[in-house]
Amino acid sequence: MKILKPVEKMKFTDCLRVILHQAHGEAESEIYAYYQRNCSFMLKADAREVNHNPHYYHVHSAIWRFESLCQSHKDISLFEVISNQSGDKVIPLTWSHFFGKRQGFYENDGRRFNSKRKPMSVLCSSVNFMDYCIKGKKLSMFANGFVLNPFAIKMDCIYRRMVQENYILTEETTVKEFCRDIVDFLYPAMSTHEKGFILKLLKDKENGDY
């Protein structure tokens, strides 16, 4: 199988939390915490075994939506990522490969055991998952047909996250606050310099400076 590294990707767990937040608002954190505590068995359990807890149904529904979006939109790519000291090993997953491994990921909070000698791998999707996940009209900072480079893709995803969260920038918003509230959810490894530059550009946009 060909090994490659996509331009940008987001973890399955981040996808799941976006879906839960869309459907349940501030209750997303509680539902996701329920999933984290019970993921090792809840996807195999009958609803009666968890006393028909509403969170059980919410998690199943969110996972179904994740799979439905990935299956319906062929330009959404799935990846299995294994982190090594020498760099991430990124393995593209066909739908059939993913379907054969999905239970292992779901039962370990988006991770999967490969062998005793390798660290757990992480399930990721391409960042365009956000385009299809956000309800209604596709949101973008850029005009239709504009070709986005890797930096523009990051900025556009951050902008869509801000719109989804109804997040308002002010002159007093610091880089630390902006990262805590928005950026780290999508790009936890982004450099401080890049975060600060994106915040400046977005502040300029809010002020109508370009």
pLDDT digits (tens, 9 = 90+) for 22-76: 888 788 889 999 999 999 998 888 888 888 999 999 999 999 999 999 988 888 9
Q: What is the dihedral of CA 167, 168, 172, 177, to 10 degrees?
A: 10
- Contact between 121 and 111 under an 8 Å Cβ cutoff? The reply is yes
For residue 39, the tally of other CB atoms under 10 A from its CB is: 17
Q: What is the pLDDT along the chain (210 residues), one digit of tens a residue?
A: 334 444 478 899 989 988 888 888 788 889 999 999 999 998 888 888 888 999 999 999 999 999 999 988 888 999 999 877 677 788 999 999 999 999 999 999 999 987 777 788 999 999 888 878 765 445 667 766 666 677 877 888 888 778 777 787 888 888 888 888 888 877 877 888 888 888 888 877 655 543
